[in-house]
Structure 1
């Protein structure tokens, strides 16, 4: 029996690795196809740039794509310009297919925008792959490095040029030298091995990708997680909604915890059992100063009257099965994102007779709680501002 359980455990671990590896392979293929499409479009725009009409072409293309693929982030004017920059910086098709497409498009845009030298880009790209950095983390790391280094990188570049040793190359210099062999070999159907290029030796090797330790198979879905990829895969409604919901939750948590007024997060999608049923509260906080639970319901779309019923029911469950005898009555907050508007409502019990009172929506905070809770205006403005960057 013991041997049987050991075999099952090993089998399931191997199956888990197979699931992750299969998912990685699928995501890598899709991401590579997206990068190649963006690179092709970028080169078409580059041709128009040589004719001094790239702006007109970008505007016309964006309008056309808007009619063909409504709400698609990938074909906005801004991203079409990103494609142009990408094509300028990466002339080699093999470089795009085998190296650049191993990270998310958003990370790639950040590297092109912030890092001048190609070899330094490769170093950051390697870190993204190896450590699973998000775009936000990549930006922080670049800003931190630049802040610490100041102009050292530029000074070092100039010094080494004077010494006759060119250690740093602009991306175009690299592409027009060794990496040009990629394009020449494409014409002859003879592809040079990636590892043969001295300019990309720091990028994670294909062997490392294929022979990852069984005990630690890296999940590349975290590295490639990007709204551009969601768009490209066609999950325009469901995928975007799920992504936005996650960011909505994240921004709301950051806001309340950043108040430094006693809010402690108990959990998101907090599970409560009541009368044999399972119920989930979007966000549950406990306020250490008020000594009460605060339930936050997050909604996307038009505000509906039934949201009040959901919130008050959840508050009743909290009071019945979670609240301690020394805790005050729970407080509810509805935050509804309707297009550019953010509708915020509190739900309080009558503070004078909490035992007999019912919960009611109210924009005004009771006098005894004023100064201890953020106003609906503060909640709305702060969270709406945070969501601008989503």
Structure 2
């Protein structure tokens, strides 16, 4: 009896997969084009409303009436609520030049653009986060997290010797990818936590950890074993960065940076270069994450090393809380402000 599969050409499965891929690409292209047209429409509507308000003094009631009329005329089209119309107006006001919308912002979903409007006042910061969201494919939740954690202030802040140990543009790219500090607010650690506790917690929260490290880091393992001269050594954390095309050795410290840390990491980086690095890989990079650091001490420790090493800091939940004002400090600040208000009120009454 002839099997049913024999009735089909041998390359049928490959042909079917090819068609599926073409259909998916067409769906993505259609969705992208649809989003572009929607964003441009929102900008145009916002611009029209803004101009009418400035020219004719339109108020909130007119916008609410406009929303009702548009929803009645287009019942199957979402996005015409009064709240959304106000966002369209804010969108057009924030980006008066349509070219930035046509060239960049139309690549983001409307929800991302609303998040940028709500969270950031500086136009340059909005554009920076928009570019990062597009390049890295951030969801709205990830975008919100990166804004709240002040990513733009932390990228490129580590102290490194990359300018002397890596060729350009590899050195610039590597510097721009490393943060200072790293925000580990997603962890729960006791006051007496040791380095191994931090390592285990990061591995247990590897998804959040990789998000904080940034795009391109592939986790290779913790306590990664290497053997040199018959003796086994274990690296805290080992990664491979797909964009830099190199291994990244990460050492964790729960104390302030000490010069001997760089010597040990230099040993590990050199060993990974010899034991794991492929001829097509770029030089291995080492990162020391410590509780704190002193700039001159770090610079001296890295100055004459031939391996690329960066020194950065981490912020754990207890450190983040320490940076926030205490309830007593808040109460004192409130009392001071109330006293100033009362004093000013008395002066006004006397005048």
Q: TM-score w.r.t. structure 1 length?
A: 0.34
TM-score (norm 2): 0.37
